[in-house]
Amino acid sequence: MMYRLLALNIDGTILNNQGRLTKETKEAIDYVKDKGVYVTVVTNRHFSSAKKIAKTLRLHKNQLITHSGAFIASNVDKPAYERRISENKTFNLVQVLENFDCHTRILHEKFSLGNRVKIHNQVMAKAVLKSNEPLFYPIQFVESLGETLRDNPVSAPKIELYFQSQYEKEQAERTIASAFDIEWISYPNEPRAYIVEKGTSKEHGVYHVATQLGISLEEVVAIGNCYDDLGLVESVGLGVAMGNAPDKVKKAAGWVTRSNNENGVAYMVKELFRKQHRIGYLEKIGSLDKH
């Protein structure tokens, strides 16, 4: 099989636990690009954050699959695909979420709007406040999201939630799922959850990019480490799980590589693609043989 597209999750996959992109990983991505393979990231991160990582990998013009698959673009002002939560639905969701003990953040591709809450959970506080992105991605906190949205409606690709407890998260999920036609993304024993429009997923994002490039899913390699990478790993030609991925993701994968702290992406990429000719090489040889 000739693989033509490589889709990479960011956190826990190409970044190690310190949030760093190692030299080995950068070299591996350059290596596979030199083979003529199209490389993209597929991430829960918003576009501005993913674009920063993509620049480091020199993916300057490539389409990036961001906001859990809801926003795909190489340029923030010219999306190739977007699936937004409507202004009305966003407002109604916020009205319901204000009844729960959680921090709600609306993730537009150009800015973030969140409610001010007193955070008691230290793990949650660290996750909410760790951002160092205000210079290139404005982050605003308001006293009441509901009142702010009433005056200034927002249609965003994604809503991010941080709950004070698992009980609150479970209660909110049941309430939201029964009242709204949306996708709820969350991980066991984590305070964070996401809301995206129905039909949004990482695998659909990869399918969209592959289709635009004339590439079949059988020609795609995807590497992930999260529960929401499960559908992606199962849908492509070669689904790869990181060594630090949950067992459920590993069992679904065709290949389990080393962990993100052991340069798992670099190891897997070099092992797989060293056997593959540069794309176009075999066609060129075939053309020469005819002459």
Contact predicate 164/124, CB 8 Å: yes
- Distance in angstroms (rounded) separating the CA atoms of residues 107 and 138: 10
Collapsing DSSP to helix, strand or coil, 278 comes out as coil
| Whole-number pLDDT of residue 118 | 60
| Whole-number pLDDT of residue 285 | 37
| Whole-number pLDDT of residue 164 | 87
Q: Which residue positions in the chain have pLDDT lower than 50?
A: 131-132, 134, 282, 284-291
| Whole-number pLDDT of residue 121 | 55
Contact predicate 237/203, CB 8 Å: no
The pLDDT tens digits of the residues spanning 187-229 come to 888 889 999 999 999 999 999 999 999 999 999 999 999 999 9
- Distance in angstroms (rounded) separating the CA atoms of residues 95 and 45: 24
| Whole-number pLDDT of residue 291 | 42
Contact predicate 83/196, CB 8 Å: yes
Sign of CA dihedral 210, 109, 10, 165: negative
Angle at the Cα of 79 from the Cα atoms of 76 and 80, rounded to 5 degrees: 145
The pLDDT tens digits of the residues spanning 262-284 come to 999 999 999 999 989 897 654 54
Collapsing DSSP to helix, strand or coil, 119 comes out as coil
| Whole-number pLDDT of residue 275 | 84
| Whole-number pLDDT of residue 279 | 78
115 is written with which tokens? 């409610």
**Residue 153 to residues 111, 149, 169: CA-CA distances in angstroms?**
13, 5, 25
Q: What are phi and psi of 23, to 5 degrees?
A: -60, -40
- Pinpoint the alpha helices (H) of the chain: 23-34, 47-56, 87-97, 122-129, 145-151, 166-179, 202-212, 230-235, 247-252, 264-273, 281-290
- Distance in angstroms (rounded) separating the CA atoms of residues 226 and 128: 19
From the list 108, 101, 98, 102, the residue with the least C-alpha distance to 144 is 98
